[in-house]
Structure 1
């Protein structure tokens, strides 16, 4: 649900959604409830980890972030997206990526942001420097180290509707950060 519903809603809004995996392009991933999704690209493909190509990064929960956080190129893409002031949206276990992806100064990407996530990783995001918020969706935009970073987090599939609405709104009308 955390992959398919955002994919369908964003496509419905006219976005081109590109599924990127840690395995070769064309790999089919099956979610917890059997929903299959096929990757269009691999993070190892030339140029995929360059933030200029993308308008936003959506990080689902489940097992995906456990694979993503072990990929140096996926961590690089996540950090580059933050540095380019492009929205990063993470749900459920997805905020683990915000703990593992690090800025040039070595701080976790979630440091200095308000974040929510699945309750089992609450301590992880707090220990990585985030301020925990128990809300359906949290939009955190901040200037950190001279860069504007925009992070949208959510707790569980029950929060998909407001989380996806926040992503759509941010891509359609980027935030102005003073």
Structure 2
């Protein structure tokens, strides 16, 4: 049996950073609940596609409507084995929700696996959980996470329970490292948690 994972998303989160891990983690047998404050199961968030075309920053275009699987107000973080925090523009407002901060703090206090990338670490910085970690993020978020007490590095990084990447081009390595931290053993037909 796979792990039960919580994914916190919001309007104009990065499309690939929501859709790809949501589907990839399910593909290997994990259960993923995608939630957003003030929205219910079956509601959608609008995603944004960020592309790199040689400008000084990324280009943002409208992505898909991504359907939530649960209501944030109904989930209990203690019932989940790990947390996924995608990037995009959503983290800048998601970090203002007390329920989001409380959930993130639970996963760090319990030393459960956490995967985040791009602008997702803005939420972790706001939650005050990054002190002493080595991690990465989208380069423009480096000042925020360093101010929160971490050491920033320029590569996909795992430090204890935390797996970080800079953006969606890092998915293969980022998801692979997160699966390792989860203790996922890939078998034909699904995932098996290491302690099952």
Q: Distance in 1 between matches of 2:103 and 2:72?
A: 9
Corresponding position of 1:112? 132
Corresponding position of 1:90? 116
Please state if 1:61 is matched with 2:81: no
Comparing 28-37 and 53-62, the one that deviates more: 28-37
Please state if 1:131 is matched with 2:128: no
Comparing 163-172 and 119-128, the one that deviates more: 163-172
Corresponding position of 1:78? 104
Corresponding position of 2:57? none
Q: Which has the larger radius of gyration?
A: 2
Shift of 1:67: 2.7
Corresponding position of 1:44? 73
SS in 1 for 2:24: helix
1:115–1:138 CA contact under 8 A, matched in 2 = yes
Corresponding position of 1:2? 17
Unaligned runs of 5+ in 1: 102-107, 142-149
Shift of 1:164: 0.8
Q: CA-atom RMSD, angstroms? A: 1.6
More strand by share: 2
Shift of 1:75: 0.5
TM-score (norm 1): 0.83
Cα deviations across residues 121-174 of structure 1 (Å, max 9, x unaligned)? 100011111001111x11111xxxxxxxx1111001111111111111211259
Q: Distance in 2 between matches of 1:119 and 1:14?
A: 32
1:22–1:67 CA contact under 8 A, matched in 2 = no
Match of 2:31 among 13, 16, 22: 16
Please state if 1:27 is matched with 2:43: yes
Shift of 1:90: 0.7
Q: Distance in 2 between matches of 1:79 and 1:17?
A: 19
- Relative contact order higher in (CA < 8 Å, ≥ 6 apart): 2
SS in 2 for 1:41: coil
